[in-house]
Structure 1
Amino acid sequence: MQEAIFFDTMRQGLWIAVMIAAPMLAVALIAGVTIGLFQALTSVQEMTLTFVPKVGAMLIVFWATMSFMSDSLVDFFTQTLVPLIAGS
C-alpha cells in the first residue's frame, strides 16, 4: 500500500472518531461546568454530585446518537476499508 493512501485512510478514520466522540464529550463538558458552577455557588462538595449526572447525561446522548455513530462507522468500513482490503 502506498504511503499516501495509508495516511489518507488514517486521517479519515481519525476524523470519524472525532465526529463520533464529539457529542458525548460536549455533553460531559457542559454538564461538568454546570455542576461545578452549582457546587461553587452552593458550597456543596459532594463527589457523587459531579459523577452521577455527568454519566447519566452521557448515557442519554450515547443512546440518542447511537444510530449516527454506527452509520458513520459502517459507511467508513464499507466505502473505504473494504475496497482497500479487496485491492480495488
Structure 2
Amino acid sequence: MDENLIFDTLREALWVAVKVSSPILTVALVMGVVVGLFQALTSIQEMTLTFVPKMAAILVAFWISMGFISATMSDFFRHRIVPLIAGF
C-alpha cells in the first residue's frame, strides 16, 4: 500500500468528520451565543439555563441531520474504505 494512498484516505476521513460534525457544532455555537446574550441581558446566572437548552438543540439538530450523517459516512466507507480492504 502506497503512503500517498494512506494520506489521501486520512485527509478524506478528516473532511468527512468535519462535514458530519458541522451541523451539530453550528447549532451548539448559535445556542451558546443566544443563551449567553439572554443571560447577560437579564442578569440570570443559572447553570441549568445554559445546559438544558443547548442540549435540547443539539439533540434536535442530531435528529434532523441523522440522514445526512449516515449517508455521508456510508458513502465514505463504500467508496473509499471497502475498496482498500478488498484490494481494488
TM-score bin, normalised by smaller chain: over 0.9
For the residue of structure 2 that corresponds to 1:44, the secondary structure is coil
1:81 equivalent in structure 2: 81
Q: Give the count of matched residue pairs.
A: 88
TM-score (norm 2): 0.98
1:38 equivalent in structure 2: 38
For the residue of structure 1 that corresponds to 2:45, the secondary structure is coil
Structure 1: unaligned runs, 5 residues or longer: none
Q: Deviations over 1:18-67 (max 9, x none)?
A: 00000000000000001001101110000000000000000001000001
Structure 2: unaligned runs, 5 residues or longer: none
TM-score (norm 1): 0.98
After TM superposition, what 4+ stretches of structure 1 lie above 2 angstroms from structure 2? none
**Root mean square deviation of aligned Cα:** 0.5
For 1:18-57, list aligned pairs within 5 A.
Answer: 18-57=18-57
